[in-house]
Chain A
Amino acid sequence: MQGLLIIVLAELRRIPGPNGCPVNHGRTLAGLVAAIIGVALVFNFLSSGKFIAESTALSVTNLAGPLGIIALGVTVLMIAGEFDLSVAATFVTAPVVAGLVMEDYGIDPVPALLLGLSCALILGFINGVLVVATGIPSFIVTLATLFVIQMFLRILLPQFSVEWNSESGLKDFLGGKLDIIPVAKSFAWLILLGLLLWFLMNHSRVGNWVYATGSRRGRPARAMGVPTRATKIGCFALCALLAGLAGIVQFADYGLISLTSGSDDNLMAIVATVIGGTSLFGGRGTVLGTLLGATLLSMFNIGLILSGVQGNWYFSLVGLLLLIAAIVNSRSQTRWRRGTATPDEERQTMVTAGST
């Protein structure tokens, strides 16, 4: 147990930064864990002991699961230096396609879900190719694709929602809650995916490519021979795939998906990612941070209700949380803004990048 802890801590310190020197993600992560514990205690006090309870754990993990899975994709993409504002639409598209195909054509769940996921993957590819081929900032491209996908969803689903009615083992496998601990299955999937992505990002060449692509607009990376264009397209595809997967997990758990499902998640996924320490400028961020960020946000949502705080204040508090987190994170960040480094800093980057 102790050994595992030491390994984890060592890994955290070892995460490479954009110029090859270890960046202190540890401070952000420690801060998040402290925040989670602190927030839990505060809410428990405010709600007269209702917060630290089994039902709360279920509610929080139920919210954090799909949100976190979307946020994982957004994180990887942001590390590569791009945004995807269309995740909310992809989140709905995959289960809608799967649900319609199961309902109208009686197709089995497994192929139906795979079809849904493929649609999500294709949407991600389209985003990636558009961004890479035209040079238009991803913020704009994915805003446009968000609108276009929403239009198609409206046409595809005039009945507004689709149910997963059939009893199926797959449905129970994906949704519901774990038996041993009061944690929603979607959260368990989040952790599993998080582990996979963590391995990908920190112990594989592809992961290095992603970090490198996002650093300094990818110029040093390209100089070193990293296939930045392919990496970016891959990240867009991964982001959309994860969003679609999140939608399918929620579909399995709740049993229904409607056009307005996941409408908050677009925004909240970005918030969770930024709270988790991922930089908007690319090249920096952690899977664990995002996971903690998503958990923290969900804790806020439930905690406010349990504490009897007037519901409309949720947005303000999330905004404050975002602001504080961003300020704290920027302190431990060097100024790797797009093009704000002085010529000296630029030269230094080229040298150290080349020497890795």
Chain B
Amino acid sequence: MSIDSSSLLNRRSFIVKSAVLAGVGVGLASCSRAEESSEPVAATPADTAASEAASTGASISAVFVGSLAGFPFWNQIELGARNAGEDFADLEIQWTAPTTYTGTGQIVQFSEAAVATKPKAVALNYVGPEMDACITTALDQGTAVQLYNNFAAATQSKDPRIAALAITASGLDKDALCKLSATQFAESVAVGDELVFFNQLPGTPEWDGIQNAYIAGFESLGWKKDQIKVNPATLDPAENLQIIESYLTANPNTKGIICADVTSGGPAVKAKEKLGLDLPLITWNLEDSTFADVERGAITQNVNQQPYLQSYFAVANMYMILKYGFVAPPYVDPGTLLITAANVAAVQSQFEQGIAG
């Protein structure tokens, strides 16, 4: 019957195919291994770096791995990294990042790819223990590792080398940042007041981390855990407007709103206006309308993580290690900027220059 004979053919061709694939794989793998063994450890293959940056005879080549590209916060990180690369004359920075977030696995992929090109140093965002494997590879091959943005979780790593990297990181981790923000916000509300946090991407380490950090921050100031409510929101500003409005209508006891991005912060301002409520509001990151909103008090506090400084100082730390041989450059806190009506004007000019976001 036709099915039997074709299955026989399939089996034969399957065996042939696997043999071919195995042979090809072994052949190519042995090629690369041969190349590797002739290279000294921690040499910099110029080919990969050259595809991104021009070969200007730079002596130090490093890769900066972002977690996202094309989004406002991350655009600032990229700008900071690139400008630092230019400001330090003999440093060459290559930037790489995914354009959509599909999970931490992808960030690990990018980090590994960066490490595999054997640069002198690599800047990584420590999103979780998934990163340990590639950081170990980097350290073993002599590539310096610089952590930025998220780094506190590294202290829990079993490898003492990785735990030590947290000491030289550049960034204000979520826990400290949210505590700072909560402390200042507590001046506008009373302890025990019901607050709401809109989590726009539940299930992701970034947003769940912010949620946990705010709850912990407020708890340390005297709130009870169930006084900080959480409601999911989407990334669509127009939909968020309806969600926030409905939430506020359903929960008239709400005394304060926390939003961690402009796509919920902007709608929150509009929702308040529509309902005629004058509630204290925290938003994160900047967009055009933020400045006017802060000035007139519609936004009580805008959290600016100073992403530009974060990456700039991360690169500076890398430079300290590589050029000057500092074993442990300092942990750099880029200074969380809490924008309020008092300092909004100064930030606006930076925003227009494109170096604040």
A163–B232 touching, CB < 8 Å: no
| Complex interface: chain A residues within 8 A of B232 (CB) | 311-312, 314
Docked Cα-Cα span, A62 to B241, in Å, equals 10
Measured in the bound complex, the distance between the Cα atoms of B233 and A312 in whole Å is 10
Known A302-B242, A312-B202: A264·B234 in contact at CB below 8 Å:
yes
Interface residue? B156 (CB, 8 A): no
Q: In whole Å, how far is B99's beta carbon from the nearest beta carbon of chain A?
A: 6
Give a binary string over A78-119; 1 marks a CB under 8 Å from any B CB, 0 the rest: 000000000000000000000000000000000000000000
A265: B residues at CB distance < 8 A? 236
Assess the B239–A311 pair: CB atoms within 8 A.
no
Quick check: A59 and B242 within 8 Å, CB to CB? yes
Number of chain A residues close to chain B: CB under 8 A: 34
A130 is an interface residue with CB less than 8 A from chain B:
no
Query: Beyond A258-B263, A260-B236, A261-B237, is A158–B75 a contact (Cβ under 8 Å)?
Result: yes
Structural contact, B250 and A311, CB atoms closer than 8 A: no
Residues 198-255 of B contacting A (Cβ, < 8 Å):
202, 230-232, 234-239, 241-243, 245-247, 249-251
Known: A160-B72, A305-B246. A256 touches B266 (CB 8 A): yes
Interface residues of A in 297-323 (CB under 8 A from B): 301-302, 305-308, 311-312, 314
The residue in chain A whose Cβ has the minimal distance to the Cβ of B275 is A55
A307 to B237, CA, bound (A): 22
Nearest CB in chain B: distance from A58 CB, A: 9
- Proximity string of chain A (257-291) to chain B, C-beta cutoff 8 Å, 1 when within and 0 when not: 01011111100000000000000000000000000
A55-B245, A55-B249, A260-B236 given; name 9 further pairs at CB < 8 Å: A158-B70, A161-B237, A253-B238, A258-B237, A260-B235, A261-B236, A264-B234, A306-B249, A306-B250
Q: Mark B261-278, 1 if CB is under 8 A from A, else 0.
A: 001001000000000000
Task: Kindly state the separation between the CA atoms of A305 and B232 in the bound complex, as whole angstroms.
Answer: 10
Interfacial chain B residues near A203, Cβ < 8 Å: none
Q: Are A305 and B238 in contact (CB under 8 A)?
A: no
In contact, B237 and A256 (Cβ under 8 angstroms): yes
A38 to B230, CA, bound (A): 28
Inter-chain contact A264/B287, CB cutoff 8 Å: no
The 8 Å CB contact of A250, one of B70, B71, B238, is: B238
Q: List 16 A-B contacts (CB under 8 A).
A: A47-B250, A55-B249, A161-B237, A250-B238, A254-B241, A260-B235, A263-B235, A305-B246, A306-B246, A306-B249, A306-B250, A307-B250, A308-B250, A308-B251, A311-B232, A312-B202
Decide yes or no whether B36 CB sits under 8 A from chain A. no
Given A59-B242, A254-B241: A154 in contact with B287 (beta carbons within 8 A)? no
Report the nearest B residue to A184, measured CB to CB.
Answer: B242
CA distance A306 to B251 in the complex (A): 8
**A63 part of interface (Cβ distance < 8 Å):** yes
**Residues in B whose Cβ lies below 8 Å from that of A264:** 234, 236, 239
A-B pairs with beta carbons under 8 A, tally: 76
In the assembled complex, the Cα of A168 lies from the Cα of B137 at a distance in Å of 59
- C-beta contact mask, A145-161 vs B, less than 8 Å → 1, else 0? 00000000010001111
Chain B residues with CB under 8 A of A306:
246, 249-250
Residue of B99, B238, B250, B266 near A154 (CB, 8 A) is B99
The 8 Å CB contact of B239, one of A55, A63, A160, A163, is A63
The contact of A305 among B70, B235, B247, B287, by CB within 8 Å, is B247
Q: Is the CB of B231 within 8 A of A262?
A: no
Residues of chain B lying within 8 A (CB to CB) of residue A260: 234-237, 263
- Which of A154, A163, A253 is close to B70, meaning CB atoms less than 8 Å apart? A154
* Chain A residue with the shortest CB-CB distance to B267: A254
A14 in the interface (beta carbon within 8 A): no
A50 in contact (CB, < 8 A): yes
- CA distance in complex: A312, B243 (Å): 13
Q: Does B288 contact A (CB under 8 A)?
A: yes
Nearest CB of B to A62, in Å = 5
Q: Which residues of B have CB within 8 Å of A56?
A: 246, 249
Closest residue of chain A to B100 (Cβ to Cβ) is: A150
Q: Which residue of B lies closest to A253 (CB)?
A: B238
Interface-centre pick from A250, A253, A305 (highest chain B CB count, 10 A)? A305
Known contacts A62-B242, A154-B99; is A163 also within 8 Å of B288 by CB?
yes
Which B residues are in CB contact (< 8 Å) with A160?
70-72
Write the chain B residue with the least CB distance to A256. B237
B238, A311: Cβ atoms closer than 8 Å: no
Within the complex, what minimum Cβ distance (angstroms) separates B324 from chain A?
36
* A243 CB to nearest chain B CB (Å): 14
